[in-house]
Amino acid sequence: MFDTRAMATGHARNLAVELDEQADSATRRAELRLVGERVMPMALAREQTLPVLGPLVPLFPEGALRRGSIVGIRGSGATSLAMAVAAGPSTSGAWTAVVGDPDLGLGAVGELGVALERLLIVRPEPGNWSLALAALVGAVDVVIAAPRHRISDTDARRMAARLRERGSVLIHIGDRWPVGADVQLDIAAGEWEGLGDGHGVLRSRRLDIQGGGRGSASRPRQLEVLVPGPGGAVAALAA
């Protein structure tokens, strides 16, 4: 069964969902379906795109996330960038699900702009990745996947078709997803700022991001941005 725990940050609550190792497949399917039914009414309905935060707009050909698409993110700092991409839809009322990353710092995620009261964290067993993703696609607007093992070609293609049908956006972290991304973001370099010679406090991280992808996203793009910025949120570099 699910271990569902409310995590409060001010008035925000995070719904953390964890699959019990002892539950059988039928039980897992029923429980994931129940979660989908609970959050689906909160999902944005008919828009063709989802907004992104202003500093990240140049990374996306339409200046927004196209529903039904796949975004791939690789490199040091990929998890932070993935949460920053999800922050745009989240601040507009969308639900976000993170599948397979148990090490998220919820405080930092909240500072990036993700609404913790509309965040699901799902930790499936290795053999249940497809089950978890299939239940969440269409139930939430943005699904972030951080697989610790390679996804099969068949499962990846099936999931891509389901995304196009249901209108969710998949953001996958790392290079274990075999199907090419519609928008690919590679972090070429990252540098923390704020430390002096043996002293100081980490204040922000500068990311050099190179963009590519398919179709209109195939045009090379490059952007330097602070993720996080000095206040914890995404920030553009000063001119």
Domains of the chain plus CATH, in order, are 5-184 (3.40.50.300)
CA distance 145 to 171: 6
Q: What is the pTM of this model?
A: 0.79
Q: Per the omega criterion (within 30 degrees of 0), is the bond before 228 cis?
A: yes
CA distance 215 to 212: 9
CA distance 229 to 236: 8
Identity at 55, one-letter amino acid code: P
pLDDT of 72 reads: 96
Is the pLDDT higher at 39 or at 67?
67
| Average pLDDT of span 190-212 | 76
pLDDT of 214 reads: 93
| Average pLDDT of span 143-151 | 85
Q: Give, rounded to a whole angstrom, the gap between the first and last alpha carbons of the chain.
A: 52
pLDDT of 33 reads: 61
- Mean pLDDT across the chain, nearest whole number? 81
Type and span of the H or E element at 158: helix 153-166
